[in-house]
Amino acid sequence: MTSTDAKLDNSNIVAHLGGILERRGGDSYLGEDVTMLEHMLQAAAQAEAEGADPALVAAALLHDIGHYTGEFPEELALEVNNHHDEGGAAVLAPFFPERVVAGVANHVSAKRYLCAVEPDYVAKLSAASVRTLELQGGPMSENEVAAFESAPDFEDAVRVRRWDEGAKIAGRPTPDFNHYALLLQKLVDAHAKDAETKG
Return residues touching Fe ion (CB under 5 A). Answer: 64, 164
Nearer to Fe ion, 162 or 191 (CB): 162
Centroid of chain to Cα 125: 18
Q: Nearest approach, Cβ of 154 to Fe ion (angstroms)?
A: 19
Taking each helix axis as running N to C, give the angle between helix 36-49 and helix 13-24, from 0 to 180 degrees, rounded to the nearest 10: 130
Element (H, E) at 121: helix 121-124
Closest residue to Fe ion using C-beta atoms: 164
The CB-of-168 to Fe ion minimum distance in angstroms stands at 8
| Minimum gap (Å) between residue 40 Cβ and Fe ion | 7
Please, which residue, 153 or 164, has the CB nearer to Fe ion?
164
Identify which of residues 65 and 191 has a Cβ nearer to Fe ion in the complex.
65
Identity of the residue, 64 or 71, whose beta carbon is nearer to Fe ion in the bound complex? 64
Asked if 17 contacts 184 with a C-beta cutoff of 8 angstroms, the reply is yes
H/E run at residue 101: helix 98-105
Query: Which residue, among 49, 73, 56, has the nearest Cα to 156 in the 3D structure?
Result: 56
Q: With beta carbons less than 8 A apart as the criterion, state whether 107 and 160 touch.
A: yes
The residue (of 174 and 191) whose beta carbon lies closer to Fe ion is: 174
What torsion, rounded to 10 degrees, do the Cα atoms 81, 85, 61, 57 define?
A: -140
Backbone angles phi, psi at 35, to 5 degrees: -80, 170
